[in-house]
Structure formats: C-alpha cells, structure tokens
Amino acid sequence: MDLPSDVSDVISNRIEYGEAIIMSKTFNRRDIIKLVGGGLAGMVFTPIPWKLLDDISIWTQNWSWIPVPPKGEINSKYSICTICTAGCGIRARCVAGQPVSLWGIKDHPVNDGALCPLGFGGHHLAYHPARLRHPVKLVNDNNTITTTEADRDDIISIIADTIANIGSGRSNEIVAALDNRPGRTVSFAYRKLLAEIPNGMYVTTGSNGTDSMEGFSEITGENVNTFGFNIEKAKTIVSFGAPLMEGWGIPGRVYGAMKNGIHDKQFKLIQVEPRFSHSASVADQWIPVTPGTEAIFALGIAHVLIKQNFVEEVDESYKNLVAEYTPQRVSDITGIRRELIVDTARSLATNGPALILCGREPAGGPFSREEQIPIWGLNSLLGNIGPDKMIVPRNPVPAGKSFQDTELATVTKLSDVPDKSIRVLIIDESESGNAIPWQLIERKLVPDKAFVVSLSPYLVGMTKRAHYVVPAPTHLESYQDIPPSFDARTATYAVSAPMYTPPDKVTEPVEFLKLIAEKTGSDMPTGSYTDLIRERAGEIHKKNRGWVYNPTNGRITETADILSERQFWGLLNDGGYWIDEPVNDTQVTVKSLFGSVGKEKLKSKLDDISRPNLALQVKYPVMLVPFGWRGVVDSGPVTPLISKLYQESEFRQGTNRALIHPDTGSLYRLRKDRPAKIITEAGELTVRVEFNDSIRPGVVHVALGPDQDRITGVKEVKIKENVLSVSAVNGHGTWRSTPARIQTV
C-alpha cells in the first residue's frame, strides 16, 4: 500500500522523534524525579486521587469480617411458633427460603398480631451456638460439663437393657418421660410407649400453666384441660399473681384487651401481688399484699361480697369460714388498707364481668392448692363459671387414630411421683416457658443409679444434668402440632410446618421412642411423626366442628366447608389454625368451695401460711422471692438479641440480680451494684444488689433470667447456681418464697 508522501513523512518523523526520546542519553535520574513529581502534582487535577480517596473510605467500611446479608427472592411463609405453649401464629419473611424475620399476624384469632420478644427471634434458634447436632454423652466434672459424641443405638441399648432389668426383677423403679407440654401428638406417643413397658410413667409438671388451675379443679372436680378463660369479655380482671403482662397464656389475648379497651376504660386490671412486677406496673391498680397472703386477701374480698349481698347463694359453711376474714383482719394480715379491700370487692361486683385469675410467677412457681382454692372460689361467688361466662368449658382435642382405643399411660403429676423412684428418665424438654427447679426432679430419681436422657436440641438448662442427649429438631425444623394453650376459650389445633431442614444426626423424639419400642419389643404406631400429626388432623377434620383461619388471606372457613382431609391438612400446613366452637350445652357445677381439702384443713393451712413464723424469722429475717419473665426462666435457648432487654438495657433484670428496698439494703449494710450473699436452708447464692424503692421492705426479689449460655453460648459449659437452687421447694411443687438471710460478701 502506498501512502501519500506527506503522510509517510509525518510517520517517519514521528518514529525518528520517538527514537530520539528513547535513545536520549540526557534522560537522567533528575528527569525521572521531575517527571514523577510533576506527574504527582498533575494528578491532583485529575479525578484519580479523589476516586482513590473515595475508595479508601469505602474500604474502611467494608471489612471482611462484617457479614454481608445474603440477597434473594423475598416471600412470606406462615407457621406457628413452638417456643412456648401459647402457639402464636407467625409470618416469616424469607429471603431465598431463609427466614430473616418473624412477625405476628394481624387479626389472627389466637394471638391477634402479637408476638413476644422471644418469638421475634425464633428464626435465630436453629443457629444457636448451644445447638447440638449429634447425640452426645455428658460428663459432669465438678459442675463443668464436657461432651463426647455418642452413638444413638448405644443409648437406646442402655435404656432397653435397663427396662429389661426392671421388667425381669420385682423392682419398683420407674421408667419415666417428663413432658412439659402435654397434649401434643408426641405426648401421646410417650404415653403409648410407657403403657407398653413395665413401670412406665408419664410425668407432667403443670408448668404450662395448668398448675395454677389446680384449685379450680378442686372446687369443680373437672379436668382443667377442658376449661378456658373469656378474657376478651372481661371488664375487670383481678389477677392474683398471674403475670398477665410477662407472657401469660397466649400473650396476644391480654394485649388485645389492652389494645381495645384501655382508652375507653373498658378494661381494668387489678394486680394482687407482693412485688411491683411488670404486670403490677401496667395494671390500673396494684395491691401489694404481704407475700403468702394472697389467699387471705381473696377471702377478704369474698367476705365483702357476701356481706354486702353481691352474691346470691353461698354454701353456709363457706359463709362461716369467710365471716372470720373481716376486712380489718384481712388488712392486718395482708397489709392492705381496709377500704381498699372493700373497694376492690365492690368494683368486682359492679364493674363486671370480672374475671379472677390465679397465676404462676414464671420463676416463682404456682400457688399451693390450698391458696388456690379461695382465689378460684371468687369466680364461683361471682357466677363466672359456665358457657359464655368468664371461665368457659371447652372440648378436648381428639387424639390421632393410632392413640385412640389403645392403652395409654396415665398422666402423673411430678409431685405425685414417689421420691427416689425414677430409674430411667427421658426429658422431652419442649419448654413450657416457666421454671422448674431441678431439685423437684432430682429428688424423684434413684440416687446414683438413675439414667437421664434429654431430647433437647441444645446443651443448656436442665439438659446439662442429663447423661446423654439425643437432640431433637428445633423450632421450625420439623412438624409439630399445637394443642390449645391452657387459657384458650375453645379447643384449637394447628401445625407448625418446618422452614428449615434439620441436621442429619438429630432424631425426632417419636422416632427415638419407636427405636426403644423396637428394642424392647413394645407395640408402637409405625408412621412417622408427620404421619401421626396428620392422622390427628384428620380426626379433627372428621369432627366437622369449628372453623379454620387461613393466615395467607385472613379468611375463616367453616370446617364443614373443607371437604377433604387433604385440603384441611394443606390449610394447616400454610399456618392455618383450627378453632373449635364454644361449648354451650355443658353446665358446670361447683362441687365444694373447700375442694377436696375440707373446711378445717383449709382454714388451718391458710392460717399457717399467713402467720409469720417468728422463730424462723430470727434466723432468716428476709423473704427470698424469685421472679422472671416467661420464656427466659425455663431452660431452653433464647435468641441472642434478647440481650437488648437484659444486658443492653436496664429494662429486665438478668440472672441473680437482687432487687432490694434501700432501707432493707442499709439494714444489712448492702451496697448498690455489689455482690451479696443469700443464705437459705437450701444453700448459698451470690447475687448482685440493685436498690429499688418499689420493693417491699424485708423482701429480696432475685431474678431468674437467661444465662449467658442460653443467649450466646459459652466456651465452657457449667452448671450454675441460680435463685431456684436456694429456694425451698415444697412437696406440692411450689417455691414462691423462702426464708433467707442476706449479707455482704
């Protein structure tokens, strides 16, 4: 190709010129410095340094160890919370299938959009650091727990061998399963297996709330599982220690009453409780009775109600008993002004319907049976019991077909189990949300020989006492069925559908039971747990009663309109909630206001409780009263973000924080934020002192909160002392207050 001459000249010139530059010998070090210096100076006028500065600033905000949240398609899944017995409906916001937040569902018939703080962190539990992903053997060395991986079959063999030993000998030793959440399908499976094997015993604690309804059971002679409360209808609720605002029953129901009624003065809460608790703070009125005198206060109310003719017919002998509890006398015992007793009784009668609740302090346990009787008795006096009243009967939820017409172990209360009798204990450890002191269980075990297996997915709480753990799937990892909460108005049923896949080596408790059955030659249903749940759902569908709430569209469908079992199951799978019809045709009769206890015994018991033991007071001048919030006082894990309420704010007191009136503090020369020692008959506990002038002088409230290992896990697992370790646990399974001594360390 020929180029025009002028062009080729230019090119050749350029080449020469370029060569000249390259060949130039005068290009020395000074020139390089000049070039670099000039270049740098010139750079300032280009965008390069500024871009670089921006990049540096971006770099300083993106350190590699700061996690980057994964992105993906966002959708909603519906299910049921299984953290406690309330069974709240939840909506999970999922990113690429992974739940990133959980929410209550607005207008949900059960929890009405509400979820407790623990529920909001439910999706964290699968990643909890204390999670166990395979069976382990625990060795307790001086309260420090070490774990080694164990083989599930070995554990089953040990159990089967022990069962065989018990069966062959004439031993009274018991094989027991402890279930804090009776009524689930797995509960039936436990009962089935335990009925099959010799000396099998199905044990419950009542910590799901039913332990506070014992008194109700006493006066009516009815099973508490067939009654619920009509909270939504109540204008006044008198709560005898029921922690309505700390997560009682289905929390959303109480909150719903607050939400709807507070500004219209439609809802009034009177809290009868020695401590200025959370509920007492929210309540319209706080009645700070002397600890242990709640029942006397109830009798005082009854006295006024009867005397002022607010009650139509009352048994004469009950009248006689109540007559002794004049407002003045009650005032002397409870420390409440006479007028307040009278006013409270009047407002109950006039600002009705009024519901009287007797509750269980989540950490402090239930009232004793004798204390409960007069409290529940008030409901009878006010005519509160019966269909469409305050305490309503409800249908039981049918069991699955496999568990109908077959022998099931009877339900035994833990307190009724003979001491030192349990040889094999299987702890289900689905948490009820309320505390159970280990002493209560420990005293039932055969000393040194007992074999304890926990099915907990986590190495926390009570599980640390076990010899072996066969971890179960956790919250939202497998199908679980949700029987009604103890307070539910009608029977309900729902299924918590899984959102996660469980790790390989975890075992569904039903499968574990089946393996034991196989080894011991017992008869057990063959279906998987999901099959058994589905079977039960089928039974409910067959009843053709009630409605199903569908959270995906908020629609309520009559069960009768759901034609197929499959459709019903599908609805439950989508977070649907079956709600039974109210029971309208059963009349409830009150058998005796004294329950099975009898007038004289009740009176003497109550007098015992309310009479100060002066001899004991010399040695133990203060009263130790545990307290805590539901869901954190039990022994399961909690979301690490619960630290926002415990550690990162002063809002809730963490474990072993002692609330003491400043006067009491100065009496015992305690100092704020310093450790102090509490001494009881049961032992010693070091607590941290917090002065609080809303506390009754002479009382020490010690918090039972989540331990660090339950929040974020710990490197070294230890069994730690808490307030329950030094509380006196009586034969009836209560430990509400303990005489104690406090001193500086």
- 494: its two tokens: 């729902």
> Within positions 219 to 248, which residues make up the interface with other proteins, using CB under 8 A?
245, 247
Give the other-Cβ count within 10 Å of 561's Cβ. Answer: 10
- The piece of 169-177, 282-290, 364-372, 468-476 that touches other proteins (CB under 8 A) is 282-290
Q: Does 124 bind other proteins (CB under 8 A)?
A: yes
> Within positions 187 to 216, which residues make up the interface with other proteins, using CB under 8 A?
none
- The piece of 16-24, 117-125, 169-177, 370-378 that touches other proteins (CB under 8 A) is 117-125
Which alpha helices (DSSP H) does 262-358 contain, by range? Answer: 278-282, 294-307, 316-323, 327-334, 338-350
Residue of 23, 26, 39, 63 interacting with other proteins (CB under 8 A): 63
Q: Does 729 bind other proteins (CB under 8 A)?
A: no
Q: What's the start-to-end Cα distance of the chain, in Å?
A: 103
Q: How far is the CB of 422 from other proteins (least distance, A)?
A: 35
Which residues lie across from 468 on neighbouring strands?
A: 137, 453
What is the SS3 assignment for 664?
Answer: helix
Q: Does 606 bind other proteins (CB under 8 A)?
A: no
Q: Does 99 bind other proteins (CB under 8 A)?
A: yes
Q: How far is the CB of 424 from other proteins (least distance, A)?
A: 33
Q: Does 98 bind other proteins (CB under 8 A)?
A: yes
Distances (CA, A) of 510 to 397, 401, 413, 514: 20, 16, 22, 6
CA distance 223 to 543: 21
Instruction: Name the residue nearer to other proteins (CB basis): 23 or 56.
Output: 56
Q: Does 309 bind other proteins (CB under 8 A)?
A: no
> Within positions 459 to 498, which residues make up the interface with other proteins, using CB under 8 A?
none
Cα dihedral 713, 122, 396, 406 in deg (nearest 10): -60
Residue of 258, 323, 560, 616 interacting with other proteins (CB under 8 A): 258
Residue of 713, 719, 739, 741 interacting with other proteins (CB under 8 A): 713
Q: Does 631 bind other proteins (CB under 8 A)?
A: no
- The piece of 114-122, 392-400, 466-474, 543-551 that touches other proteins (CB under 8 A) is 114-122
- The piece of 57-65, 192-200, 513-521, 587-595 that touches other proteins (CB under 8 A) is 57-65
**Rg of the chain taking only CA atoms, in angstroms:** 33
- The piece of 15-23, 276-284, 301-309, 367-375 that touches other proteins (CB under 8 A) is 276-284
The set of residues, in sequence order, having a beta carbon less than 8 Å from that of 83 and lying 6+ positions away, is 118, 119, 122, 125, 431, 433, 475, 631, 636
Q: Does 69 bind other proteins (CB under 8 A)?
A: yes
Q: Does 72 bind other proteins (CB under 8 A)?
A: yes
Q: How far is the CB of 120 from other proteins (least distance, A)?
A: 4
CA distance 29 to 14: 25
Q: Look at the alpha carbons of 709, 714, 718, 721 in this order and tell me if their dihedral is positive or negative.
A: negative
Q: Which residue has the tokens 């390259």?
A: 22
Distances (CA, A) of 150 to 99, 453, 512, 743: 31, 12, 14, 45
Instruction: Name the residue nearer to other proteins (CB basis): 72 or 570.
Output: 72
Residue of 100, 164, 719, 728 interacting with other proteins (CB under 8 A): 100
Helix 529-543 and helix 565-573, axial crossing angle in degrees, nearest 10: 120
Burial class from Cβ neighbours inside 10 Å (0-12, 13-18, 19+) for residue 340 reads middle
Cα dihedral 497, 502, 505, 510 in deg (nearest 10): -10
CA distance 678 to 623: 10
* One character per residue 662-701, x = contact with other proteins (rule: CB under 8 A): -------------------------------xxxxx----
Distances (CA, A) of 318 to 47, 92, 151, 270: 93, 53, 60, 25
CB 680 within 8 A of CB 726: yes
Q: How far is the CB of 47 from other proteins (least distance, A)?
A: 8
Angle at 459 between CA 506 and CA 133, to 5 degrees: 25
Residue of 120, 227, 229, 735 interacting with other proteins (CB under 8 A): 120
Q: Does 639 bind other proteins (CB under 8 A)?
A: yes
Q: Does 77 bind other proteins (CB under 8 A)?
A: no
Q: How far is the CB of 489 from other proteins (least distance, A)?
A: 18
Q: How far is the CB of 149 from other proteins (least distance, A)?
A: 18
Instruction: Name the residue nearer to other proteins (CB basis): 280 or 311.
Output: 280
Instruction: Name the residue nearer to other proteins (CB basis): 56 or 614.
Output: 56
Instruction: Name the residue nearer to other proteins (CB basis): 100 or 195.
Output: 100
Q: Which residue has the tokens 């006010």?
A: 382
- The piece of 185-193, 426-434, 612-620, 649-657 that touches other proteins (CB under 8 A) is 649-657
- The piece of 181-189, 275-283, 431-439, 731-739 that touches other proteins (CB under 8 A) is 275-283
Q: Does 286 bind other proteins (CB under 8 A)?
A: yes
Q: Does 45 bind other proteins (CB under 8 A)?
A: no
